[in-house]
Amino acid sequence: MTKSLSVPSEKSGLPPGSLIHVGDTLESVTRISVVDYSKETIEEQKIQTIEEILNYKDSDTVTWVIIEGLTNVELVERLGTIFGIHQLVLEDILNTHQRPKFEEYDDHLYIVLKRLMLEDEQFSVSYEQISLVVLNNFVLVFKEKKDDLFQPVLKRIRTSKGRLRKLGSDYLAYAILDTIVDQNFILIDSLDDAITSLEDDLLTTEPTQDTLNTIQKLKREIISIRRHVSPIRELVSEIIRSESELINEKTLIYLRDVYDHAIRVVASIESYRDILSGLLDIYISSVSNKMNEVMKVLTVFASIFIPLTFLTGIYGMNFEHMPELKWKWAYPGLWIVFITIPIVLLIYFKRKKWL
């Protein structure tokens, strides 16, 4: 069955600010990881109760909390209380049908966006919502699924004594954003492969109903990807223009880089959209072409044999007074006609380029 673009309405009618998890449950158990680092120190651990975070609250180190799995509503609520996060932010974290956006509050920033994952060979894309809450010295990340997405960032924290360890929570937020946006390039590569192979098919083989279904499928995916990806451009641009004190001026130049990547992704998607809608035109043209060819074969056959059959019909009649029937050379003469007519017609069709 075709995948639905549905924007579920499960929460419609509920009071704003009520915390419930809205969306598909991708992970039933919630895992909390904490990475705490400063220029000199680094500490990583999995924690069970949210209260353990309090230990890091008043230190000068940067603390990165990763919450994987969104079904534990209480946990999100307690985090909200601890860090003074606005009720609407908590609500948006739990509702996985958000449009990518950036919101600025007095002492925290909220960033929500979609990560794109290629499901399988059939070019089917799924989406994971990732929320970032950036505070002074704290970054909270809420993911729907447990996976290795942030391994590269963790690795850089662990190994490099470089920039990441020296700079604050805003730079960490940038590194996370950068990782998510760059993921899209992998997807776009697959999209490129899918479209290129479709195009090759179309230009070399017979158009089939299958080709049509693939075109429609890709079209739908692109419409959906575009809806989830294009707001990211705007989101990053808003972060850059924001005057929040939580964002250091030095980080801006790096965000500009993410912005460039976002633009490139969106531009690519637009190009694919154009190419794909061109492919449908090519498809329709090809079908017409084939039909034309079929018609020509039919017309050539029919035009040659129908008149000849008429001729045989004449001399198959049983009239008593048909002098030709008795002529000695009538039959061989008729054969000459039977041979001449097709030759003349074939030359005519050849001239018309039907053969």
**Terminal Cα distance for the chain, rounded:** 43
Smallest distance from a copy of itself to CB 54, Å: 26
User: Of 45 and 331, which CB lies nearer to a copy of itself in the complex structure?
Assistant: 331
Both structure tokens of 73: 């509503």
User: Of 55 and 216, which CB lies nearer to a copy of itself in the complex structure?
Assistant: 216
User: Of 66 and 279, which CB lies nearer to a copy of itself in the complex structure?
Assistant: 279
Count of Cβ atoms closer than 10 Å to residue 165 Cβ: 20
CB-hemisphere CA count at 13 Å for 47? 20
The set of residues, in sequence order, having a beta carbon less than 8 Å from that of 147 and lying 6+ positions away, is 68
User: Of 32 and 279, which CB lies nearer to a copy of itself in the complex structure?
Assistant: 279
Q: Taking each helix axis as running N to C, give the angle between helix 330-351 and helix 249-314, from 0 to 180 degrees, rounded to the nearest 10.
A: 160
Contact status, residue 292 vs residue 215, Cβ threshold 8 Å:
no
Smallest distance from a copy of itself to CB 29, Å: 26
Smallest distance from a copy of itself to CB 208, Å: 8
Smallest distance from a copy of itself to CB 220, Å: 6
User: Of 59 and 348, which CB lies nearer to a copy of itself in the complex structure?
Assistant: 348
- At residue 246's C-alpha, the angle toward residues 248 and 236, to 5°, is 75
Q: What is the DSSP letter of 326?
A: G
DSSP annotation string for 51-118: GGGHHHHTSSSEEEEEEE-S--HHHHHHHHHHHT--HHHHHHHHBTTPPPEEEE-SS-EEEEEEEEEE
One-letter amino acid for residue 87 of the chain: Q
Strand partners for 132: 111, 141
User: Of 29 and 306, which CB lies nearer to a copy of itself in the complex structure?
Assistant: 306
User: Of 32 and 135, which CB lies nearer to a copy of itself in the complex structure?
Assistant: 135
Smallest distance from a copy of itself to CB 169, Å: 16
Rounded-to-integer distance, Cα 15 and Cα 272, Å: 41
DSSP annotation string for 10-65: TTTTSPTT----BS--S-SS-EEEEEEE-SS-EEEEEESSGGGGHHHHTSSSEEEE
User: Of 314 and 336, which CB lies nearer to a copy of itself in the complex structure?
Assistant: 314
Q: Taking each helix axis as running N to C, give the angle between helix 169-204 and helix 249-314, from 0 to 180 degrees, rounded to the nearest 10.
A: 10
User: Of 49 and 348, which CB lies nearer to a copy of itself in the complex structure?
Assistant: 348
